[in-house]
């Protein structure tokens, strides 16, 4: 497809998704090639029947595997999340079971917890202030469109992508989030990822490969990057390098919802600022767990359980399933099986 045709199709999709009720929150794809507006699925596979998504929004997600909702989270809430993150970095609050991570470019001997050295906090389900994000009505309203009414918050992160030291270690290789999860079906899982400030290619925005959510879970491993790779930043070892890419330029409060099989990653932070985003992976509470033994996910299970044992004393013979059950929280509806 030549650039003029791709541009025309993008303008068509943007115009279609931009129509709606006055004052209503609408979804917008951002930059890059996306699938044409003329897509007419025989049936919806990835979205649920309700009145919260327009037909155009459902069609866009069905075909592309992601959907951006503008201005979804308020400035006031984001300010509160930033303040709590700063308190965590300063050691004023120490939520149980939370994992505090540093960039691989920072030597252990030089590491002193602060906003300039903490690149990510994971599993903040015990922090009431940050966990508010997972229960925001405006977030759950859209999550339900993908998971149904009974919703579990399964994995939480606040990402503080640091200015790159020159080794490009701040980037995240292209991957699929399902690699990290021992539950299925994948169509009942969705990530909500909210920008906490303006995000573009300069400070390492998300990059997605539209339509790849229709494929299978691919083998993952650590990329052989000269500057190093952060722990558990796995990348896909087999994908089409010529696939169209979309860079999600987002403003503070914009939220992208995406499928766990969607191939995505993020670039390195070329600015002097810290790029922040907060996210949660949600799943329907009637999902079921799988045993990852003998699968490509076994490598991740072994590594994460070693870390969980070292940091929190979780028994070494525990499984990824045990860990997910421990951190999962019901945020809407009723718990069924998960």
- Higher-confidence residue of 133 and 225: namely 133
pLDDT at 305: 83
Cβ 183 vs Cβ 288: under 8 Å: yes
Full DSSP string of 131-157: HHHHH-HHHHHHHHHHH-SSEEEEEEE
pLDDT at 309: 80
Measured at the CA of 81, the angle between CA 189 and CA 198, to 5 degrees, comes to 80
Determine the average pLDDT of the residues in 301-321: 81
CA 298 remoteness from chain centre: 21
Domains and CATH numbers, the chain: 56-332 (2.60.120.620)
Instruction: Spell 118-141 as b/e; 16+ CB within 10 A means b.
Output: bbbbbbbbebebbbebbebebbbb
**What confidence category does residue 243 fall into, taking pLDDT thresholds of 50, 70 and 90?**
confident
Average pLDDT, the chain: 84
For 192-201, write each residue's pLDDT tens digit.
999 999 999 9
Cβ 158 vs Cβ 131: under 8 Å: no
Question: Which of 97-101, 123-127, 256-260, 279-283 is predicted least confidently?
Answer: 97-101
- What percent of the chain stands above pLDDT 90? 55
Residue whose C-alpha is closest to residue 287's, from 148, 179, 155, 157: 148
pLDDT surpassing 60 at residue 12: no
Residue 48: Cβ-neighbour burial (10 angstroms; 0-12, 13-18, 19+): middle
């Amino acid at each position: 497809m030549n650039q003029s045709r791709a541009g025309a199709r993008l303008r068509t999709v943007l115009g279609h998704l931009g129509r709606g009720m006055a004052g209503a929150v609408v979804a917008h794809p951002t930059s890059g090639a996306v699938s044409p507006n003329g897509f007419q699925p025989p049936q919806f596979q990835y979205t649920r029947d309700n009145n919260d998504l327009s037909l155009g929004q459902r069609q866009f997600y069905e075909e592309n595997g992601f959907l951006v909702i503008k201005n979804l989270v308020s400035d006031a809430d984001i300010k509160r999340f930033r303040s709590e993150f700063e308190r965590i970095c300063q050691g004023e609050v120490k939520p149980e079971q939370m994992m505090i991570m540093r960039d691989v470019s920072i030597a252990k001997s030089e590491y002193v917890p602060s906003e300039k050295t903490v690149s990510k906090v994971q599993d903040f389900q015990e922090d009431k202030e940050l966990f508010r994000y997972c229960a925001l009505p405006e977030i759950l309203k859209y999550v339900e469109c993908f998971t149904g009414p009974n919703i579990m918050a399964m994995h939480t992160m606040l990402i503080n992508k640091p200015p790159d030291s020159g080794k490009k270690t701040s980037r995240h290789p292209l991957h699929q989030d399902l690699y990290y999860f021992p539950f299925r079906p994948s169509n009942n899982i969705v990530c909500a990822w909210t920008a906490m400030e303006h995000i573009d290619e300069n400070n390492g925005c998300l990059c997605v490969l539209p339509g790849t959510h229709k494929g299978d879970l691919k083998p993952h491993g650590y990329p052989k990057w000269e500057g190093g790779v952060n722990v558990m930043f796995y990348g896909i070892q087999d994908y089409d390098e010529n696939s169209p890419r979309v860079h999600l330029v987002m403003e503070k409060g914009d939220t992208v919802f995406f499928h766990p099989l969607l191939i995505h990653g993020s670039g390195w932070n070329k600015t002097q600022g810290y790029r922040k985003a907060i996210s949660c992976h949600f799943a329907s509470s009637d999902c079921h767990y799988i045993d990852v033994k003998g699968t490509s996910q076994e490598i991740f299970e072994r590594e994460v359980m070693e870390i969980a044992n070292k940091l929190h004393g979780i028994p070494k013979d525990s499984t990824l399933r045990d860990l997910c059950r421990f951190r999962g929280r019901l945020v809407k509806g009723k718990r069924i099986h998960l």
